[in-house]
Amino acid sequence: MSQVQQNTIIPFLRKIVVTVGAGGDLLQFVSDGTPNGLKVTCNISKTVMGIPNPSTVTLYNLSSKTRNAIQKSLSQITVEAGWENTEMHAALRGNVMSCVSERNGPDIVTKLAVLQGYNATVQAVTSKTYAEGMPVKEVVKDLGSQLPGIAVNETLLKEVQGTVGYGGWSFAGQTKDALTQLANEYGFSWTIDDEALRVVGDKAKFSGVVVLDGNEGGLINVSPILNGPMQVQTGVKIKAVYVPGVVPGATVRVRSTLSEGLDGDYRIHTSNYSLDTYSDSWTMDLESFKYM
């Protein structure tokens, strides 16, 4: 590896910053691919369809003191990803569910299991009735306000349409289940991302398109999602270089050099980011489904 002078900014030098803890007790780890950096790998899952699967943040060769400090501060975590000479973007904010350290060959590997909005969705319960004719958006806002620590932003709910139907709408149970039931009935999807409630309409118009091009870079491959004995296409899978801001609910425009028949605009429903500054893993796997 060629040597780089100190304080020199390297174009396109990938960088990950992990911050663990809350309040004044913060632990921060920087991974930049250089010999002096800390090895960090991230596998981050997101979806617009309820609560995502746990994400994994892996830290290598921490001291015993640091590992113990992480164990004592199992609360919040933020993962920022980007490049040395550009603005960093939050790829993950959530709650640390577990911290396990083990030896893997010469390395001590510390794995953090992270879930977005875990504390809020576990704690919040609802027992309410909403009157006939009430805007569904107002119901979503009220349910979201019952999720502790989760922001409810009007601009993130603009795709919610319609009003409560005849007889009103009632629910008793966990608030996350109330949101899922409401979403199924009124045609939207919801998730918690960046500690905020986000809603995507099932038939929302495309806006803010990010281009993934096979010629100019970005797109790695695109393939159909096929289901059933007749192999009916129900969506697409897209693999591309990681682009900050491409999250579930965003729209991408695919321009393939091998599968031109799949070119087009797609609303993203699930995403998985594989980030590692010490390997070629800096990618995102996206899925978009058709509404039948």
The single-letter code of the amino acid at 187 is G
pLDDT of 133 reads 92
Strand ranges, E, within 50-205: 55-60, 76-83, 89-104, 107-115, 125-130, 169-174, 188-193, 196-201
pLDDT classification of 252: cutoffs 50, 70, 90:
very high
What global pTM score does this model have?
0.82
* 193 token code pair: 């991302």
CB 79 within 8 A of CB 46: no
State the Cα–Cα distance between residues 81 and 268, nearest whole angstrom: 20
Among 16-20, 197-201, 288-292, name the one with the lowest average pLDDT. Answer: 288-292
pLDDT of 118 reads 78
Residue 21 to residues 24, 89, 138, 221, Cα–Cα distance (Å): 8, 18, 33, 38
Tokens 């396109």, located at residue: 12
Q: What letter would DSSP give residue 48?
A: S
Per-residue pLDDT tens for 181-231? 998 898 888 888 878 888 887 766 555 788 999 887 789 999 998 888 888
| 135, containing H or E segment | none
* 110 token code pair: 């510390």
What integer is the mean pLDDT of 132-153? 90
Q: What is the mean pLDDT of the chain?
A: 86
Backbone angles phi, psi at 118, to 5 degrees: -60, -50
* 209 token code pair: 């398109």
Q: What letter would DSSP give residue 38?
A: P
* More reliable by pLDDT, 4 or 218: 218
What integer is the mean pLDDT of 92-98? 89
pLDDT of 191 reads 84
Q: Give me the residues paired with residue 31 across strands.
A: 16
DSSP H helices, 21-95, are: 64-72
**Does the structure show a pLDDT above 50 at 244?**
yes
Among 26-40, 116-130, 197-211, name the one with the lowest average pLDDT. Answer: 197-211
pLDDT classification of 8: cutoffs 50, 70, 90:
very low
* More reliable by pLDDT, 23 or 269: 269
Per-residue pLDDT tens for 255-267? 998 888 899 999 8
* Start-to-end CA span in the chain (Å): 52
* 54 token code pair: 């746990």
Per-residue pLDDT tens for 44-82? 999 887 777 789 999 999 999 888 888 776 678 999 999
Rg (CA), the chain: 21
pLDDT of 37 reads 84
pLDDT of 195 reads 81
